[in-house]
Homo-oligomer: A and B are copies of this chain.
Amino acid sequence: MRIEDEIKQAHFQDEHQKAIINLIYTSGWLQLRQACAFKRFALTSPQFNILRILRGQHPQPATVALLIERMLDKTSNASRIVDRLEEKKLVTRTVCPSNRRAVDIRITPAGLALLDQIEESGVMQAAAHASLSEAEARQLNDLLDKMRDTD
């Protein structure tokens, strides 16, 4: 369905304006699908992303600073997302011995098992599936990269 019909707005100033609305709308649509997929595992998308970053580091620990660097959303509050993962025993927090200001965050066996379970379930593929060909996906990547070329 075209964006005009999705949001019941017949006219846009120009194609750029429309692309921006379309982009934000489509991103929301995707994120809703992802959130939906994670819900049966009692995880949110940011929680899932942090678990994946921690698995990437495992068995090394990560600091909050490293999580922020790797997260899509730089300004999100990693500290509080880790709070929730810690409550669920999916990660541990220990004071870093070599720098007692920092905190070593590690994924637990339960966290690793949960990631495996999610990946086996195939919900990722379902949520990520989009009706684009390989070439179209590549084209989309190029356009998005170019779009951000203003800095």
Chain A residues 1-44 with CB under 8 Å of chain B are 1-3, 6-9, 14-32
- Whether A134 and B15, one on each chain, are in contact in the complex, defined by CB atoms closer than 8 angstroms, is yes
Enumerate chain A interface residues (CB-CB to B < 8 A): 1-3, 6-9, 14-32, 69-70, 72-73, 75, 128-132, 134, 136-141, 143-151
In the bound complex, how far is the Cα of B73 from the Cα of A38, in angstroms? 20
Q: Is the CB of A27 within 8 A of B27?
A: yes
Least distance between A79 CB and chain B CB atoms (Å): 19
The CA-CA distance from A103 to B144 in the complex, in Å, is: 41
Name the residue of chain B whose CB is nearest to the CB of A16: B137
Give 9 pairs: A residue, B residue, CB < 8 Å, sorted on A.
A1-B148, A17-B128, A19-B137, A22-B140, A28-B73, A130-B150, A132-B146, A139-B139, A140-B140
Pairwise interchain contact A143-B147, C-beta atoms closer than 8 A: no
